[in-house]
C-alpha cells in the first residue's frame, strides 16, 4: 500500500479481520436467538449456486411448506440473482460488493436486519418458534470467502464437475473450511473426463471430515440427499 509501512498494513488487516470476527460472533448469536440455520454457499462463479438455491426452495415448498427460507445474495454487481430467487417467492436481499471479492460479517448483519424488517411488515404468520433457513450466496470466488466468517452455521462448497477434479487441492482453504461439498452438474458427467472418486479423495485430503453429496440442480438427481442434509442440520445446529 503506497505511503504505508508493511507493519502498519499488517496491523490494519489484523484489525479488520478481528472486527469481522466480533461481528460474526454477534451474527451467530443473533441467528441462534431467532432459530435461524444460516448456510454460507461458496464456489467459483457459475458452479450453479443460484440454480441450486431456486431448485432447493421449490423442493422445500412441497416438502416443508411451513418452513421459512430467505436468501442473502452477494455479487460484485447487479441484482440478477436476487431477482431469480424472488421469482420463487422467497425473500432475497442483494448485496453488491463493488470491488470486493467476498461478503463480510457486517454486510450480512445489515442484510439480515433488512430481511427481518421485511418479515415483520409483510408476513404475519407466527413462525417465531420454528426454525428457519437462511442461505447466503457468497461472491463467486474460491479464495477470499474462505477467510471470512459470516456467523454461518456451516460453509457449503459447491464444485461443478466441469471445473476439474483437482480444484480441492488447488484451493485447499475453501475445502478445509467447508462442512459439505456439493458436487454439482453430475448430469454432464457422460460428456466429460472427470473422475468423481479422485475429486472426493482430493477434497478428503485437505479435509478428512468433509461430507460429499453428488447432485444435479437441473435434473434434480441427488436432491433428496441434500434436502435430508438440510433437515439434519436444522435439527442439530452446530
Ligand X SMILES: Nc1nc2c(ncn2[C@@H]2O[C@H](COP(=O)(O)OP(=O)(O)O)[C@@H](O)[C@H]2O)c(=O)[nH]1
Binding site for ligand X (CB under 6 A): 43, 45-51, 140, 184-185, 187-188, 216-218
Secondary-structure breakdown of the chain: helix, strand, coil percentages, each rounded to the nearest 5: 50, 15, 35
Closest by alpha carbon to 102, among 134, 70, 76, 135? 76
Handedness of CA 22, 23, 25, 30 (dihedral sign): positive
Cα 68–Cα 71–Cα 74 angle in degrees, nearest 5: 170
Place of cell 447487479: 78
Rounded Cα distance between 36 and 184, Å, is: 25
Which C-beta is closer to ligand X: that of 23 or that of 93?
Answer: 93
Residue 51 binding result from Mg ion, ligand X, none, given CB thresholds of 5 to 8 Å by partner type? ligand X
Residue 46 binding result from Mg ion, ligand X, none, given CB thresholds of 5 to 8 Å by partner type? ligand X
Which C-beta is closer to ligand X: that of 29 or that of 219?
Answer: 219
Smallest gap from Cβ 8 to ligand X, in A, equals 36
Smallest gap from Cβ 48 to ligand X, in A, equals 3
Residue 231 binding result from Mg ion, ligand X, none, given CB thresholds of 5 to 8 Å by partner type? none
Which C-beta is closer to Mg ion: that of 180 or that of 206?
Answer: 180
Asked if residue 126 lies in contact with residue 211, where contact means CB atoms within 8 angstroms, the answer is no
E strand or H helix that includes residue 121: helix 105-122
Q: How many CA atoms lie within 13 A of 10 on its CB side?
A: 3
Residue 218 binding result from ligand X, Mg ion, none, given CB thresholds of 5 to 8 Å by partner type? ligand X
Residue 185 binding result from ligand X, Mg ion, none, given CB thresholds of 5 to 8 Å by partner type? ligand X
Which C-beta is closer to ligand X: that of 151 or that of 222?
Answer: 222
Smallest gap from Cβ 53 to ligand X, in A, equals 8
Rounded Cα distance between 152 and 14, Å, is: 21
Rounded Cα distance between 105 and 152, Å, is: 9
Smallest gap from Cβ 57 to ligand X, in A, equals 13
Residue 30 binding result from ligand X, Mg ion, none, given CB thresholds of 5 to 8 Å by partner type? none
Handedness of CA 79, 84, 89, 90 (dihedral sign): negative
Smallest gap from Cβ 18 to ligand X, in A, equals 30
Which C-beta is closer to Mg ion: that of 50 or that of 132?
Answer: 50
Smallest gap from Cβ 62 to ligand X, in A, equals 19
Q: Which residue is nearest to ligand X (CB)?
A: 48
Q: Which residue is nearest to Mg ion (CB)?
A: 50
Which C-beta is closer to ligand X: that of 96 or that of 131?
Answer: 96
Q: Provide the grid cell at 81.
A: 440473482
Amino acid at each position: 500500500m503506497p505511503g504505508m509501512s508493511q507493519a502498519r498494513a499488517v496491523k490494519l488487516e489484523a484489525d479488520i479481520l478481528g472486527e469481522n470476527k466480533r461481528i460474526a460472533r454477534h451474527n451467530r448469536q443473533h441467528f441462534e436467538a431467532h432459530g435461524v440455520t444460516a448456510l454460507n454457499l461458496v464456489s467459483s462463479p457459475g458452479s450453479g449456486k443460484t440454480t441450486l438455491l431456486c431448485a432447493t426452495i421449490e423442493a422445500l415448498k412441497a416438502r416443508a411448506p411451513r418452513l421459512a427460507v430467505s436468501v442473502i445474495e452477494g455479487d460484485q454487481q447487479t441484482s440478477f440473482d436476487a431477482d431469480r430467487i424472488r421469482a420463487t417467492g422467497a425473500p432475497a436481499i442483494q448485496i453488491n460488493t463493488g470491488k470486493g471479492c467476498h461478503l463480510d460479517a457486517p454486510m450480512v448483519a445489515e442484510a439480515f436486519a433488512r430481511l427481518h424488517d421485511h418479515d415483520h411488515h409483510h408476513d404475519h404468520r407466527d413462525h417465531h418458534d420454528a426454525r428457519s433457513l437462511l442461505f447466503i450466496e457468497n461472491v463467486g470466488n474460491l479464495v477470499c470467502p474462505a477467510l471470512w466468517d459470516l456467523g454461518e452455521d456451516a460453509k457449503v462448497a459447491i464444485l461443478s464437475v466441469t471445473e476439474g477434479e483437482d480444484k480441492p487441492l488447488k484451493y485447499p482453504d475453501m475445502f478445509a473450511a467447508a462442512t459439505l461439498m456439493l458436487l454439482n452438474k453430475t448430469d454432464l458427467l457422460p460428456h466429460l473426463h472427470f473422475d468423481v472418486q479422485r475429486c472426493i479423495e482430493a477434497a478428503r485430503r485437505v479435509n478428512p471430515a468433509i461430507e460429499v453429496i453428488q447432485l444435479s440442480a437441473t435434473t434434480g438427481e441427488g436432491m433428496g440427499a441434500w434436502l435430508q442434509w438440510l433437515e439434519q442440520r436444522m435439527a442439530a445446529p452446530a
